[in-house]
Structure 1
Amino acid sequence: MTTPHNPLCPTHHGGRCPAPAPATLLFLHGMGATARSWDPVVRRLPATAHTLAYDQRGHGHSAFGRRPPTGLAQLGDDLARVLTHPSDCFPGPMVLVGHSAGGIAIMHCAATHPHLFGTRVTGAALISTTAGRLDPTCGLRAPAGPALARLFLHLTRSRTPVSSLLLHLMTTTRWPLYGRTAPRPTRRACSAMIRSTPPATLDALLRRLSTHDGPALTALTRVPVLIAVGADDRLTPRPHSRALAQLLPHAHLVEVAGAGHVLPLEAPDLLAHHLRRLLPPE
């Protein structure tokens, strides 16, 4: 797995290992995005904050490896490899921050590598994500909703590329990605990332999303957790974050008025504020 930011080196410190820190924020982007989607949030963190980001498999500058992503669980295994790789730059605790599919990767990592949580991982943020049972209609009412659901399920079960439909919806309209307050530059930046993602990546992950049902979250009960969702999120709407909050009753749930699915770009100030609370005092 190759990345534009070496996952074993700091992303925002000029390529030099920073001084030891109480914890490092490790950012995981969503499907169709890249590590750069976190830049607005990172810029709003204190200058002393240590941050790490990498392009997930099949996104941005990261290669497929031997094959395209075989599912969301594979992204969780990739995360575990980053967490366990020896690193002089980031030897201490990590706070995981995942948006959408990045949040799902954290959940799969917690389910299959629980020993990392409460030890290497000291906190987590699940942003605009879900533990399963997604609505393929994205909240559309009849007759458009059921028709879209049937089309989506047909595409995920056939060899027809699902990504063509997704690309059209997400790069030409405000629906279903953005809330009513998302400015045009934000939508352009997100569209550019989606368009640059290989169709094979989108197809592989979309097919798994249609059957995604939540992994065990027991390991996440060992660490502080932030759950955040846009009030206008149509892809992973508020009931999904509220369900996560019920499974993780110690978590802090934040619902952002006017925002849609792309919180790292739509509400970076608010996210940076809440992420600071996951970091131990220096």
Structure 2
Amino acid sequence: MPLADLGDVQINYSLTGPANGAPVVFAHALGLEARIWDPVIARLPDGLRILTYDLRGHGRSSVPEGPYSMGALVRDAERLLDFCEIRDSLFVGLSVGGMIAQGLAIKRLDQIRALVLSNTAAKIGTPEIWQRRMETIRAGGLSAISAETMQRWFPRAYLKSGAAAATEALVAGQSVDGYLGCCAAIAGTDFYTPTSGLRLPVLGIAGSEDGSTPPDLVRETTELIPGARFALLRRTGHVPPIDQPDAYAGQLTKFITEIGHLG
């Protein structure tokens, strides 16, 4: 994956598919990387122009000094889409990626044709919750929160099978400074009012076992936008692209078809 030099940050990204294909952009959750989307992308229709990237402070992207603001995360996405000459995209955002999606649609509607707000909300948690998490990480590193994070992210059966070990290792291996920087961005974000002003096709996706952004929270944010659709995926939690890629890709494909994104 190449690096896009955006000045104050270098973003690791992948752009695949035909140059004239319908653009789909994917933004991952806190503590993860662009590669979590690979199983989903492999199940999508041909003919799409697909952009994935590591958020600042994650994966192979650079780690600017924190704390970060949501404005900085949105600006990274905005500049990356400009760098890749992408307009009228379907932007798929998972968790903090879904917050970035909302912010980008508010700021640059020319770049966004439709949104998938997955396992996300206009506001996630409280500043106090995020402050406690950041204190735990500063004291014990990411390994101090990775096991508990898996409990919130995955259904019991998936955890019992041991399949979550790779995701837990991925989270524990991220940059502490990058993770803390993005925690600060989430803690300071409340998009309820601006998101309620959006008017574009939206699909909200929730996992029935999501302990981080429960289905009612995702539905509440989705319903801020008139005409938005909502899908509840069973037997999955906060990161369905990892443990339910078939069902997740099915929802994306259905939405892509409904909005005529493939032309």
Shared fold (TM-score greater than 0.5)? yes
- Equivalent runs, 1:197-276 vs 2, <5 Å: 197-214=174-191, 216-218=194-196, 220-221=198-199, 223-276=200-253
Task: Summarize the Cα distance change of 1:211–1:75 in structure 2 as closer, same or farther, 3 Å threshold.
Answer: closer
Whether 1:5 aligns to 2:13 is yes
Match of 1:123 in 2: 114
Match of 1:193 in 2: 170
Q: What TM-score do you get using the length of structure 2 for normalisation?
A: 0.82
Q: Deviations over 1:175-196 (max 9, x none)?
A: 1111235364641232122122
- Alignment partner of 1:72 out of 52, 57, 70: 70
Q: What TM-score do you get using the length of structure 1 for normalisation?
A: 0.77
Letter of the 2:97 partner, please give it: G
Residue aligned with 1:182, SS: helix
Letter of the 1:103 partner, please give it: G
Task: Summarize the Cα distance change of 1:126–1:167 in structure 2 as closer, same or farther, 3 Å threshold.
Answer: farther
**Structure 2 CA distance for aligned equivalents of residues 173 and 69 of structure 1:** 21
How far residue 162 of structure 1 moved from its aligned partner, in angstroms, is 4.9
**Structure 1 CA distance for aligned equivalents of residues 179 and 58 of structure 2:** 9
**Structure 1 CA distance for aligned equivalents of residues 236 and 139 of structure 2:** 24
Whether 1:107 aligns to 2:102 is yes
Letter of the 2:114 partner, please give it: G
Whether contact under 8 Å (1:230, 1:255) holds in the other structure is yes
Whether contact under 8 Å (1:71, 1:205) holds in the other structure is yes
Task: Summarize the Cα distance change of 1:218–1:55 in structure 2 as closer, same or farther, 3 Å threshold.
Answer: same
Moved more, 229-238 or 160-169: 160-169
Whether contact under 8 Å (1:230, 1:256) holds in the other structure is yes
Match of 1:280 in 2: 261
Task: Summarize the Cα distance change of 1:186–1:52 in structure 2 as closer, same or farther, 3 Å threshold.
Answer: farther
Gaps of 5+ in 2: 1-8
**Structure 1 CA distance for aligned equivalents of residues 25 and 124 of structure 2:** 27
Letter of the 2:113 partner, please give it: T
Whether contact under 8 Å (1:99, 1:128) holds in the other structure is yes
Whether contact under 8 Å (1:245, 1:251) holds in the other structure is yes
Residue aligned with 2:117, SS: strand
Q: Percent identity?
A: 27
Whether 1:49 aligns to 2:40 is no
Whether contact under 8 Å (1:98, 1:106) holds in the other structure is yes
Letter of the 2:39 partner, please give it: P
Task: Summarize the Cα distance change of 1:121–1:219 in structure 2 as closer, same or farther, 3 Å threshold.
Answer: farther
Whether contact under 8 Å (1:180, 1:260) holds in the other structure is no
Whether contact under 8 Å (2:48, 2:262) holds in the other structure is no
From the two aligned structures, give the one with the greater strand fraction. Answer: 2
**Structure 1 CA distance for aligned equivalents of residues 243 and 118 of structure 2:** 12
Residue aligned with 2:152, SS: coil
How far residue 2 of structure 1 moved from its aligned partner, in angstroms, is 2.8
Letter of the 1:24 partner, please give it: P
**Structure 2 CA distance for aligned equivalents of residues 173 and 134 of structure 1:** 14
From the two aligned structures, give the one with the greater helix fraction. Answer: 2
Letter of the 2:20 partner, please give it: P
Task: Summarize the Cα distance change of 1:267–1:220 in structure 2 as closer, same or farther, 3 Å threshold.
Answer: farther
Task: Summarize the Cα distance change of 1:19–1:108 in structure 2 as closer, same or farther, 3 Å threshold.
Answer: closer
Match of 1:142 in 2: none
Whether contact under 8 Å (1:232, 1:261) holds in the other structure is yes
How far residue 263 of structure 1 moved from its aligned partner, in angstroms, is 1.4
**Structure 2 CA distance for aligned equivalents of residues 270 and 102 of structure 1:** 19
The structure whose Rg is larger is 1
Count of residue pairs brought into register by the alignment: 249
Match of 1:182 in 2: 158
**Structure 2 CA distance for aligned equivalents of residues 248 and 163 of structure 1:** 40
**Structure 2 CA distance for aligned equivalents of residues 186 and 130 of structure 1:** 27
Match of 2:90 in 1: 95
**Structure 2 CA distance for aligned equivalents of residues 135 and 76 of structure 1:** 20
Task: Summarize the Cα distance change of 1:4–1:59 in structure 2 as closer, same or farther, 3 Å threshold.
Answer: same
